[in-house]
Amino acid sequence: MLESFLVTSRETLEASLVIGIVLAYLNRTNNKNYRKTVYYGIGVGILASIVAAVIFTFFAGGFEGKAEQIFEGITMLIGAFLLTTMILWMMQQRHISKEIEGKVEKHLMSAQPLFSHMGIFMLIFIAIIREGVETVIFLNAVNYASGINFIGGTLGILAAIVVGYLFFLGTRKINLKRLFSVSSILLILFAAGLVAHGFHEFEEAGVISGIISPLFDINHVLNEKGLFGGFLKGLFGYNGNPSLLEVIAWASYLGIIFLLYNRIENSKLRTSA
């Protein structure tokens, strides 16, 4: 449940923030006549995301046996990659409101009202479809790893919409930096689990060797099919009897993220100095 909540809340939050900031800026600058354009962008973006989900599900359903395992492994690795790029991008955002408002202002300055409407429409549409497609991939990766929890996913979407609405109201009382920091840590561990599980699928398909399989077996202590073990498996990709390759993949991913995080933080310090 928690993994579905994290994925949908984080993805929906980005789109909600864009929408909330755009609507607040339009209200503040007396450009309320563009609000319908924002709503059109939301509607078309959601429809396009649904179409993408149907196509992906139809495409994925055509695989069986070894091909299915390979496809699932690839989906998990792609999901981990997209999660990583999203997390790293959010770590670098210090002035997200100013950046989005700057884009809206640029579109509003167009001499042709049609171009202004199209610019704002595309800004919203791209925000929705990008997050929608990524969510489809993420949830399929979660489904392959542990199964989708629709309650968690729905709660995640609702929570993100509330945050976006608060930004629209202009309260901005939510500490986004702290919210992003906590969710980033959980999502990094979740992505590491996807990487390890992706390689596990390749091992199952016979594409690569696990080197030593299993490296150890602690299922008698913490069974991955048990209540707590299942929770850890779904959220962090826990495996009670992993191969050496899975452990290397998991540790390597966390090491790379740690290095990238340090680089981003050092860059922020140099910029502010």
Q: Whose CA is closest to 140, among 59, 218, 202, 84? A: 59
Q: Whose CA is closest to 203, among 108, 112, 72? A: 72
Distance CA 190, CA 269 (A): 28
Residue 13 parent element (H or E): helix 2-28
Dihedrals phi, psi of 144, to nearest 5 degrees: -65, -35
Which tokens sit at 21? 């900031």
- DSSP secondary structure code for residue 109 in this structure: T
Q: Residue ranges per domain, the chain?
A: 2-272
Q: Kindly report the pTM of this predicted structure.
A: 0.67
Q: Going residue by residue through the chain (273 aa), what tens digit of pLDDT does each one get?
A: 555 676 677 667 777 877 877 887 888 788 888 889 999 999 998 899 889 888 887 877 667 788 888 988 888 888 888 878 777 766 665 555 666 767 777 777 765 777 778 888 888 888 888 878 877 777 777 666 655 556 666 777 777 777 767 766 654 555 656 666 767 777 788 888 889 988 999 999 999 999 999 999 999 999 887 877 776 776 677 889 999 999 999 999 999 998 988 887 777 667 665
What is the end-to-end Cα distance of the chain in Å, rounded?
42
